[in-house]
Amino acid sequence: MLWIAVSAAQAQTADQTRTDCADPNPTTRIRACSIMIKSGQSSDLNTPVAYNNRGLAYSETNQPELAIQDFDQAIAIFPSYAIAYSNRGLAYENSGQMARAISDFDQALKLNPNYAGAYNNRCYAKAVLGQLNDALTDCQKALTLVPQDAKTLDSLAYVYLRLGEYRQAIDNYDAALKISPNLVESIYGRGFAKLKSGDNVSGTSDLDAAVKADPGIAARMAAIGVTR
């Protein structure tokens, strides 16, 4: 009976570790996924998932190099893992390697042509590089697959902002904020578009609100060409 009790306890602990490896808290995720990776077998599909989830946690805690290493491992074990390619693309994007990011988004879409998130990610990366028509096509494709996605609407608004189509930008920022009212990039982008449209009062109000919510937003937006 003692052996059975220990086995049940071990099974419960393993189940909790798997749950924690998908926890919203990145610190919890790193700890639990590390346990799974150390104890797992490369043939176990839980292992590339653990690498992917830990990679996301590293991305969320501003450790892109560690994130990329984990996504590399996930892909090496499971070469058709479209999500890991897209997530590695985001890590490359966050470290300023836009060409490598787009290459990963391309691969994710080859593996899953209906992957709306990868279309959105590629849209944003192309917009940053000034490939605006291609970016517009990608964002529109993403929205046909997943309508009313706040992040894609934000990306689409950014494309219109770069194109100088400020009314379109404002409309899409409004749509994004209707779904996700605290999306600070959309608040800041909308404020910038309003300023460009001549609405100084409302534009300044949006910019001030965005900076109050996230003091680093102005620098991040300036890095992608949105600067006062």
Amino acid at 144: T
Task: Give dist(CA 127, CA 94) in Å, integer.
Answer: 14
Domain spans of the chain, in order of start: 1-113, 123-228
pLDDT at 174 over 50: yes
Domain 1-113 shares a fold with domain 123-228? yes
pLDDT in tens, 10-58: 555 778 998 999 999 999 999 999 999 998 766 677 899 999 999 999 9
pTM score above 0.85: yes
Pick the CATH number of 1-113 from 1.10.1670.10, 3.10.330.20, 3.40.140.10, 1.25.40.10: 1.25.40.10
pLDDT in tens, 60-92: 999 999 999 999 999 999 999 999 999 999 999
Pick the CATH number of 123-228 from 3.40.50.970, 1.20.58.220, 1.25.40.10, 3.40.50.1820: 1.25.40.10
